[in-house]
């Protein structure tokens, strides 16, 4: 079983996560450097739930998921967002991504958050299996993405 902890309790993992996230999603944030990403993620080391990053590890870092106020500057009216769901390729298809998403959903529900949003380029089915529904299909920085949402009050 994988352990999931808040990044603020394991800040030594920030740089590896920032590197992974920059490689995976840097194309969606033109002009944002790795240094910018590290600075942004450093703000997650506060005591608030939003923003927070959660880290899956078992001997080594295996993945992450975050909850943020907004993940798209074009959709700031939607909030909060599940973001940065990433599992290192060696550990995919082992339930780690699902565990991370469920962990964030549970933390949000416990904080009385009624809905969460996310966007994905190609993992719509993964999120549908976890109870998410399609909210909108759009172009974001010239990339087709699907915005999804989940009602946390109907998910037990």
Domain ranges of the chain: 3-151
- Mean of the per-residue pLDDT values of the chain: 92
Q: Sign (positive/negative) of CA torsion 89, 93, 95, 98?
A: positive
Average pLDDT score over residue span 42-62: 91
Average pLDDT score over residue span 75-100: 94
4: number of Cβ within 10 Å: 21
**Least confident segment among 39-43, 73-77, 79-83, 122-126:** 39-43
Cα gap 91→97, rounded to integer Å = 9
Would the pLDDT of 154 be above 80? no
CB distance 131 to 101 below 8 Å: no
Burial 43-71 (b: 16+ CB within 10 A, else e): ebeeeeebbbbbbbbeeebbbbbbbbebb
Would the pLDDT of 156 be above 60? no
pLDDT > 90 fraction of the chain, expressed in percent and rounded: 72
pLDDT at 14: 93
Would the pLDDT of 28 be above 90? no
Would the pLDDT of 155 be above 80? no
Q: Selecting from 1.10.645.10, 3.40.50.450, 3.40.630.30, 3.40.50.300, what CATH number does the domain 3-151 have?
A: 3.40.630.30
1: number of Cβ within 10 Å: 6
Query: What is the reported pTM?
Result: 0.90
Cα gap 108→12, rounded to integer Å = 24
Q: Sign (positive/negative) of CA torsion 155, 50, 141, 39?
A: negative
């Amino acid at each position: 079983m994988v352990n999931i902890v808040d990044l603020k309790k394991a800040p030594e993992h920030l740089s590896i996560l920032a590197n992974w996230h920059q490689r995976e999603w840097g194309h969606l944030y033109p002009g944002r450097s790795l240094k910018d990403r590290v600075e942004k993620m450093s703000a997650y080391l506060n005591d608030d739930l939003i923003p927070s990053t959660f880290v899956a590890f078992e001997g080594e870092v295996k993945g992450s998921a975050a909850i943020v106020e907004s993940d798209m500057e074009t959709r700031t009216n939607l909030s909060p967002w599940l973001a940065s769901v990433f599992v290192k390729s060696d550990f995919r298809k082992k339930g780690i991504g699902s565990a991370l998403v469920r962990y964030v959903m549970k933390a949000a529900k416990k904080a009385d958050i009624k809905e969460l949003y996310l966007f994905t380029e190609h993992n719509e089915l993964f999120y549908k299996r976890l109870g998410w529904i399609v909210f909108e299909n759009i172009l974001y920085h010239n990339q087709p993405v699907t915005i999804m949402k989940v009602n946390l009050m109907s998910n037990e």
